[in-house]
Amino acid sequence: MLKTLTAAAVSALLFAASAASAATLTAEATLKADQPGPKIDKYVYGQFSEHLGAGIYEGVWVGENSKIPNVRGIRTDVVNALKEIKVPLIRWPGGCFADEYHWRDGIGPRDQRPSRKNNWWGGSPESNHFGTHEFFDFAEQVGADAYVSINVGSGDPTEMREWIEYMTSPGEDTLAQERRKNGRDKPFKVPVIGIGNETWGCGGGMTPEYYSNEYRRFNEFFHKGTDNPALRIAVGPSGGDENWTEVVMKQIGNRRMEGLSLHYYTLPTGNWDKKGASINFDKQAWADTFAQTLKMEDFIVKHSAIMDKHDPEKKVALYVDEWGTWYDVEPGTNPGHLYQLNTLRDGVLAAVNFNFFHKHADRVKMTAVAQTINVLQAMILTKDDKILLTPTYYAFKMYVPFQDSTSLPLDLKAPTFTFGDKTLPAINASAAKGKDGKTYIGLANMNPDDEVKLTVDLGTLKATKVSGEVLTAPKMDARNEMGQAATVVPVSYKGGKITGNKLTLSLPAKSVVVVKLD
């Protein structure tokens, strides 16, 4: 009989079976719909696509002569999938790759572009077939804005200035004419530019003092203005490095930058030498993973406090432009290609982080999950002409209504659960008023065993109907399989009820739930 059911129906049956066997914890929350907060910028749902493994080549670029359906060499199935989750921004070309990337390698006739060695990621050949024009074509096909990372580590201000002029100049200057000769008449739209990447590490091994001076030097030749209105993003800290934030905010200041980046990856073990497996993990590894990702909010709070001291008017946004899970690579794959499988755990973890970003929307104006395709916590996995949409992809899809919404305070009292030496909140949540005028609540149940019954006091909000979607599965490492119908997909949510001004929600173990209130 199961062979005749849709993937969504199978998932619904599995959800029902899972919920039936779970214990129930209780939680309370108060929604303050009459006290709207800051805008949740759509850029919070940005993507990061680096020249790494099969992220660009095979993942995005297959070439115009490929049998795989494409538009000017860019995979049609990938573009369509990303359009479905309304990707607002794509960061490119790196990452560590950005600080060895010289933009002239990636323009002009492809058969004349030089081949380079990708020193950071497995020593793989870099054909440069996917360069500036191809990237903007990809972003425009998706409907996303561009976030371009400038080479500071091995480049110089002249190279930066010439690339910006090549991309943005509307005039008759030589660089603009060269762009036209290469097939693009009008300037490219470049709303965000990162001045360096991880300059504390692979981007140059700099101290914050040294980087601040380099940034100021590059900024003098940035020529921000009508032709180049891009937001300038300075390299910020890795994880909890508060000294980096202190020095950079003090020495660069809020007149020379519009954003400060933050990079933090969730490693189950916290150990870069042995990070943990992406599948076949136990409950302790599940708890360890969420304990690590919960640090994200602590980092946001601490760095925001330093930023507030130097920038009380909040002119400088916090850009969490690399985040996500980082596991040991799949056995048999190139260690430098960072290929990992993606399970329900990743989908729930994505929602946990979304809720943090919403909560701190006064500072967090953009994030970029690492990475879009075939690398780390990917939205999409590809193999030849096949495509797989991951649980993380579906978490992004469920949270689309939060893009450009208005945050609403949601005071939550969450129960806890314990595994080994880890005691964690069972759930986290966020609320917002969407552009459609409806109220949305997003929730993540991190407890792998128990259902949570949440009662929400709606306060002044008048609502009579609740609907939504839920993403869950019986196994912690449930995943979608290449070439098979997806089973870890959102299904219609039936666990909500409104009585008077009280909303009750039954949240299955290990689940993501997004509800709409009418």
Annotated catalytic residues are 198, 322
Give me the count of residues in the chain.
518
Classified as helix, coil or strand, 367 is strand
Q: Which helix (H) or strand (E) holds 234?
A: strand 231-234
Q: Where are the alpha helices (DSSP H) in 327-373?
A: 344-359
Residue 192 is given by DSSP the state: E
**Best CA proximity match to 239, nearest among 305, 308, 153, 297:** 297
The Cα 427–Cα 429 span in angstroms is: 7
| Residue 513 β-bridge partners | 443, 470
**Best CA proximity match to 276, nearest among 291, 266, 264, 261:** 266
* Residues ≥6 apart with Cβ < 8 Å to 226: none
Using CA atoms of 384, 385, 391, 394 in order, give the dihedral in degrees to the nearest 10. 150
Residue 49 is given by DSSP the state: -
What is the CA 212 to chain-centroid distance, rounded? 26
The Cα 244–Cα 209 span in angstroms is: 8
**Best CA proximity match to 497, nearest among 446, 452, 463:** 463
* Residues ≥6 apart with Cβ < 8 Å to 157: 217, 218, 220, 221
> Prior bond to 495 cis, omega within 30?
no
The Cα 238–Cα 296 span in angstroms is: 11
The Cα 124–Cα 115 span in angstroms is: 10
The Cα 452–Cα 334 span in angstroms is: 41
The Cα 376–Cα 79 span in angstroms is: 19
Cβ neighbours of 264 (radius 10 Å)? 20
The Cα 405–Cα 40 span in angstroms is: 5
The Cα 97–Cα 365 span in angstroms is: 24
The Cα 218–Cα 194 span in angstroms is: 11
Classified as helix, coil or strand, 90 is strand
**How many CA within 13 A on the CB side of residue 138?**
30
Q: Which helix (H) or strand (E) holds 223?
A: none
